[in-house]
A and B are shown apart, each in its own frame.
Chain A
Amino acid sequence: MPIIDMRNLTFTYTGAGKPSILGVDILVEPGEFVVLTGPSGCGKTTVCRCLNGLVPNFYSGEMTGNVKVTDLDVRKTSTMELAKYVGFVFQNPENQLFSLSAERDVAFGPENLGLPRDEIRRRVDWALQATGISNLRNMAPYELSGGQQQRAAIAAVLAMKPTLMVLDEPTSFLDPKSAQEILDVISRLNRELKITIFLVEHRLDAVSRYADRVIVMDKGRVVLDGKPFDVYGEQAWLIGVGVPKVTMLFRLLRKDGISLDSIPITVEDATKELRRKLTS
């Protein structure tokens, strides 16, 4: 049973002239690590919002087509209910941390679910540990760096034990090193805890090594969907997607007439391939 079952989904925000997403088909199986990318305004955020019910419950509008998440029909289920299965991490850490200590923030979700105190305590300790910030539990958000704040946000979502985690450009405000660290944390959650990841990201060079699949959207439609290797081609580049530089490099070299066996998506793969060619 797919964890995300989006079929022919079209959505127009109230008051908007045209649909933000058009005929979108997305199927995600449990345990997958999916990256969604595309130029600004392509509908990525709208797709994310459809996954936890913010569309159409918080953001009203006209929706046609179907979207089921963990077998629940998003149109008929409240965000509150979906929050038990779908965790959402937003771009700006500042506006998703409510408390004056990381610990209490992580407890917020379970508290809302009405869980008993000892269960909340267990989950909080576990989530803090899983994201590597147990030692920061008593710090206030303003005492934490951007990267630490996002970890706290992830922990806060994790404590609700979701089966699907949706992250909308979580590394936007982070410096490159913190961004890499957050992506490592997310990847670990996927591998070790088997949480399905649906991540919107521009930094494809950093995230490609973890992604099972990359979906590219443009002007409200899904245009590409497949393994990173298959997606990072001419079309992606023309759309304006930030294809990793090493991938672009190899495609350009191929155009120059150099014969290369494979097109890499990571620096490591590129190094291996070039070393082979240069020492043969």
Chain B
Amino acid sequence: MSMRIFDGFKFTKLPTPVHQMDPRAKFILVMSIFAVCLMFSNLLVLLIALLAQIPIIGLAKSLKRWSISMKGGTLLAILIFVMNFLTGSTLIYSLAMTVKFLALISCFSIFFMTTSPDDLGLALENIGIPFTLVFTFTTAVRLVPTMAVDAQTVIDAQRSRGLELEKGNFVKRIRNYIPILIPLIVSAIRRSIELAEALESRAFGASEKRESLVALKMKLSDYLTTIVAIAFLTLSVYVYLYIRLPSPEVTYRLPPIWPWSYA
């Protein structure tokens, strides 16, 4: 599992319908899928939940990055499968849990890949979170790629002075990160001070009430998406409560090898 898994959560600006969706509608859509994933343990339903997201991701032109983050998550997915199977769950159930995991991170992936921190901030403001908190959040998100670039520069600068990060025993390797961490922290502090100066100079906090230039407005498509998502969610709840779903008959499970597993 590498850093590539984070690529699946990074926002990139693209002119797709998914990107242009009102963040509140998007959130409701994603939460509906999330709720369905949480509710069900049935492999078929979960597979559908996972596969149904693919056309959405395709529409958002983000399939490549999504697949990279899926690949990055395979280690964890395998771990989940193994943990379930080894503790006595059936093969099918373990598979279902793995699919549930992948479906869950997928839906968060969709949300963060297609929603800019600014829009996210506006949505949060909309539901009443104070501006200063929202701003702290969006700035932090916005600074992540900037700091990643800084980190790479620091690593490059120190490697250029002969620092070898891949060599040495475990203790030495940890010690080798000090020349990376300290400049990075100092750099981050300097950056924060500069940001604070600029904020003060632009009258941050001068007025209690605050209207923003751009207001979130739900379009017809946003309302439709919200209605569909809620309808879908309601249907799922109904199915969960009242309908018995078909399940593959395979009930293979490991023989009881742990003291707490059951016959």
Residue ranges of A at the interface with B (Cβ–Cβ < 8 Å)? 52-54, 57-58, 79-81, 83-84, 87-88, 90, 92, 94-96, 98-101, 103-104, 107-117, 120-121, 124, 140, 156-157, 160
Contact = CB atoms under 8 A, between A and B. Distances in A.
A112 B211 contact: no
Which are the 5 A-B pairs with shortest beta-carbon distances? Answer: A114-B207, A107-B213, A83-B203, A95-B194, A96-B198
B206 A113 contact: yes
Contacts of A53: 200
Interface of B: 13, 116-118, 135, 139, 142, 146, 191, 194-215
A232 B209 CA distance: 50
27 contacts: A53-B200, A54-B197, A54-B200, A54-B201, A58-B197, A79-B200, A80-B205, A83-B200, A90-B198, A95-B194, A95-B195, A98-B135, A99-B118, A100-B116, A100-B117, A100-B142, A107-B213, A108-B202, A110-B213, A111-B210, A112-B205, A114-B206, A114-B210, A115-B211, A117-B211, A117-B213, A157-B202
Contacts, number: 102
A113 B211 CA distance: 9
Contacts of A156: 202
Contacts of A101: 118
A122 to B, nearest CB: 11
A88 B197 CA distance: 9
A94 B190 CA distance: 12
In this complex, the member of A110, A111, A116 whose beta carbon has the largest number of chain B beta carbons within 10 angstroms is A111
A151 B118 CA distance: 21
A108 B214 CA distance: 11
A111 B194 contact: no
A120 B211 contact: yes
Contacts of A88: 197-198, 201
A58 B195 CA distance: 12
A101 B200 CA distance: 20
Contact of A79 (B13, B201, B209): B201
Nearest to B206: A80
A210 to B, nearest CB: 23
Contacts of A116: 211
Contacts of A121: 213
A165 to B, nearest CB: 11
Nearest to A96: B198
A58 B214 CA distance: 31
